[in-house]
Amino acid sequence: MTTLHQVPAPRTRNTRTGRTPWRSWGTFLLLAGPNVALLVLFVYKPLVQNVQYSLLHWNLGSDTATHVGLQNYENYFTNPKTPAVLLTTLVFAVVTVGGCMALGLALARLLDRNLRGRTFVRAAVFAPYVLSGVAVGMCWLFVFDPQYGLVSGLLRAVGVGSPNWYNDPDWALAMVCIVYLWKYVGYVAIIYLAALQSVPHDILEAAQIDGASPLRTFWSIVFPLLSPTTFFLGVTVFIESNAGGSFDIIRAMTKGGPLEGTTTMVYQVYQEAFVDGSAGYASAIATLLFLALLVVTLVQMVVVERKVHYR
């Protein structure tokens, strides 16, 4: 009688690496585990705690807190100051994001030319991005000084009076937007410059042979090829503009004034939490800001990315 012996099934291996799945997972956890742990500890856990705090009536530093449900959110939307803060946040986002993208692309086009000293110019353009926002704000306070500032001196030279940058809410917001653009436009320009230098030269030469003008070549060929970079910058610059990149400049220059004319949502979170001590109310504002950024980012990823041309 023939005895049948059951042959064990061979272990599944990854045909690319020759490793078994459990070893691949072990390598993944070894390499990615520390980063995932840091993200959970310093990003996701505080995010969940912030949502929990938004449901409490809690004064910063107090040992007791009262659960109030959605009362903080209701108080925010019924606060008469909320529409002005939302409008300021929207205006600041549109001006800074649109300005950084447009000026950064134009500056990248200039830096892409073969000019003497271009390496130094590129470094000088990018340098403001790595500077402290507080230091930048303090320096620009002297530039915008109505009496002795550089801007007022230039305006007087052409017979124009200096605006009241410090006391007029509209001019104060314009001042903060200008400083933000000066600090962050170099980052956008350098990213766009790298993208411009990756455009295939044979495509540009073919367009030149076909008689296309430089403007037509840029809008019909170069700009569509920059769409992945434009998409990336649109998302990151928008988040940076609304999630903290403007706080240090506003804090150093205007402290949210005058008449709360430069108070954005991110600065309002600081104001409510660390000045007024309303930690629960500030957590509700921070949660709403996060949700707004999340929705806009998802819309960008779903709608805008469809028009992105990946090479």
Residue 143 has pLDDT above 70, yes or no: yes
pLDDT digits (tens, 9 = 90+) for 67-114: 998 999 999 999 999 999 999 999 999 999 999 999 999 999 998 888
Please compute the mean of the pLDDT values over residues 249-275 and round it to a whole number. 92
* pLDDT tens digits for range 1-52: 445 555 555 555 555 555 567 778 888 888 888 888 999 999 889 999 999 9
Q: What is the pLDDT of residue 309?
A: 60
Report which of 72, 44, 45, 46 is spatially closest to residue 58, judged by C-alpha positions.
72
**Which pTM value belongs to this model?**
0.85
- Using CA atoms of 47, 51, 54, 56 in order, give the dihedral in degrees to the nearest 10: -110
Q: What is the pLDDT of residues 235-258, one digit of tens each?
A: 899 999 988 788 999 999 999 988
pLDDT band at 208 (very low <50, low <70, confident <90, very high): confident
How confident is the model at residue 152, as a pLDDT? 86
Q: What is the pLDDT of residue 18?
A: 54
